[in-house]
Structure 1
Amino acid sequence: MTSAQNGTTELAPDDSEYPHGAVTVDQLDLEAELTGDADAIATPETAEYLLWLADDALILAQQLSRWIAHAPEIEEDVALGNIALDLLGHARSLLRYAGSASGRTEDDLAYFRNEPEFRCSWMVQQDNGDFAHTIIRQLVMATYMFALYTRLADSTDTTLAAIAAKAVKEVEYHRDHAVQWTLRLAGGTDESRTRTERALTDLWPYVGELFRDDEAVAALASAGIAVLPSSLEAECTQIFTAVLGEEQLEIPQLQPSSAGGRQGSHFSELGYILAEMQVLARQHPGATW
């Protein structure tokens, strides 16, 4: 993104560096995504952290795919579908590496874990709602993921660093897409602004979980493998404040949710999401086509 409406928000690089446009379908094989040590085996502690990242990407991809053929514009059917495919690619890489610790495949982890075994944040479990709700959720998650993957690209775990270095290039455009739509909705009609304000109020209690530290992750961060969640909060808040401020909106001052997705305690919606996502694999285990 070179500018946003009045030209004051500068978040994305020149599009000329990425000739395929703002959001692209990832056509790389999974092997090509794992450009680090493809034979590396994650430790159990690292694998648990990888599930934090993978499950956020996987569930968000599933949520966004529901907009295909239902978005307000045909172009958004394509854009949201492509963002979902990017996130699915990130999830596959992370799940494959996480599974190396236990001998489980990416499909095992995606389709044959039960709800308490997932480690996704409550934010990605929130219903799509109307288009404003989806866009505000995207603004939060893409901003968070961009900051996270930027840091993880320097991880001392070379496989995780390689996955993050690839993912950050795509997530940067996910963030740009969300910023542009946030400004468009907040600065549009009275109805679109009202819905944007409502989405902010509904979703903001779940933001805090993304920046909540955990003892195991803190130990990995000390070793240079992971990123301490709280270290990302100031950077992300600065972006949220700048974007919302362009349309005279403020970050809601609301009581944070007690969300416990990282510990396997989930929002009620996750069960329905998993039922839809896992039903075919569970009805026909081991099937190929």
Structure 2
Amino acid sequence: MPDVRTHEPDEHDNAYAGLLVNDAHWAFGTDFEDPLAGVDTTVPDGVDPAALATYCLMLGDDALVLSQRLAEWCSNAPDLEEDIALSNIALDLLGQARLLLARAAAADPGQVPALPEGSPVPDEDRLAYFRDDLRFRNVRLVELPGGDFAQTVARILLFSTWRLALCEELAHSRDAVLAAVAAKAVKELTYHRDFAGRWFLTLARGTDESRRRLLAGLDTLWPYWTELFETHDVERETAEAGVGVDPAGLAADVDVILDQVLVASGVTRPTVPPLAGVQGRKGRDGRHTEAHSRMLAEMQVVARAHPMGHW
């Protein structure tokens, strides 16, 4: 097996290999302290640091919350192979979240929650574990309770199809960190989408019960689907500055891919209407479902109890 410390990145790695000396430093779940060490975190000219940070929180929170939901499947999936696959998808998203939250903190330190003096908790963990639900910017699709395996497959398909299209565009961002994170995420999300697409087809064409569960899961998720393509003011501002992506522009391409899966599976698009926000405000504005608060309480309880802890 080649030594990853001396591994020369191939052509597909070039987007982020230029920022770091090797892939190993970007391995998620290791004990290095600064996930952006060696990366130029200077905010590009003409970009509002607060807007860039908020945009990174939006994408980071999407990944963090869905990662937490998928982690709930650990030891509970239908068989060992799917158990490992769902755990790996969760870890991929957690890695994306860590880098995006770290980027948010570097762009605008004022958004990082304050902790007692001397706390060793790094900025990205402060953002993950010490914000309340009103400060989370994720879309509501990712925060819903997991449901059964069929609903989980449907959610991964919807989310990864959308996020893959977004990251393909974001890989051309003027912000070096966002471009690097997106380029790496494209590889991961391609696998996520293909995994979900194969299972979607299998369940749709399987037994009557597997198809019933899949369609029920899709109907449950569909009211939250259009929210992914609604442009928030921060998304518009960062897109105009050349560092973000306007999600409205992704709809046509995403529909093409999703329709291919639906047609092959013999599934028609649900007719369930979109879910309205609270006085017009939705996930990007910090307005979430009750399930979001309960999930955060469980996710954050240990960290909040030990703000001086070193993990």
Structure 2 residues without counterparts, runs of 5 or longer? 1-11, 14-25, 113-122
CA contact 1:149–1:168 (8 Å) conserved in 2: yes
CA contact 2:35–2:98 (8 Å) conserved in 1: no
Q: Give secondary structure in 1 for the equivalent of 2:102.
A: helix
For 2:27 and 2:173, the matched residues in 1 are separated by 25
Q: 1:250 pairs with 256, 268, 280, which one?
A: 268
Structure 1 residues without counterparts, runs of 5 or longer? 1-16, 19-25
CA contact 1:155–1:226 (8 Å) conserved in 2: yes
The alpha-carbon deviation at position 33 of structure 1 amounts to: 6.5
- Name the structure 2 match of 1:280: 302
Query: Within 5 Å, which residues of 2 pair with 1:110-259?
Result: 110-259=128-277
CA contact 2:41–2:176 (8 Å) conserved in 1: no
Q: 1:108 pairs with 103, 126, 133, which one?
A: 126
For 2:288 and 2:38, the matched residues in 1 are separated by 33
CA contact 2:200–2:265 (8 Å) conserved in 1: no
In structure 2, give the amino acid aligned to 1:174: H
- Name the structure 2 match of 1:21: none
CA contact 1:51–1:98 (8 Å) conserved in 2: yes
For 1:97 and 1:256, the matched residues in 2 are separated by 32
Q: Normalising by structure 2, what TM-score?
A: 0.81
Assess, with a 3 A threshold, how the Cα gap between structure 1 residues 53 and 36 changes in structure 2: closer, same or farther: farther
- Name the structure 1 match of 2:69: 63
CA contact 1:36–1:158 (8 Å) conserved in 2: no
For 2:34 and 2:203, the matched residues in 1 are separated by 38
The alpha-carbon deviation at position 157 of structure 1 amounts to: 1.1
Q: Give secondary structure in 2 for the equivalent of 1:94.
A: helix
Assess, with a 3 A threshold, how the Cα gap between structure 1 residues 35 and 99 changes in structure 2: closer, same or farther: closer
Q: Give secondary structure in 2 for the equivalent of 1:246.
A: helix
Give identity over the alignment, percent.
45
The alpha-carbon deviation at position 39 of structure 1 amounts to: 3.7
The alpha-carbon deviation at position 212 of structure 1 amounts to: 0.1
For 2:62 and 2:92, the matched residues in 1 are separated by 13
The alpha-carbon deviation at position 84 of structure 1 amounts to: 0.4
The alpha-carbon deviation at position 247 of structure 1 amounts to: 1.8
4+ runs deviating over 4 angstroms: 28-36
In structure 1, give the amino acid aligned to 2:42: A
Q: Normalising by structure 1, what TM-score?
A: 0.87
For 1:32 and 1:238, the matched residues in 2 are separated by 39
Q: 1:269 pairs with 264, 267, 291, which one?
A: 291
The higher radius of gyration belongs to 2
The alpha-carbon deviation at position 35 of structure 1 amounts to: 8.4
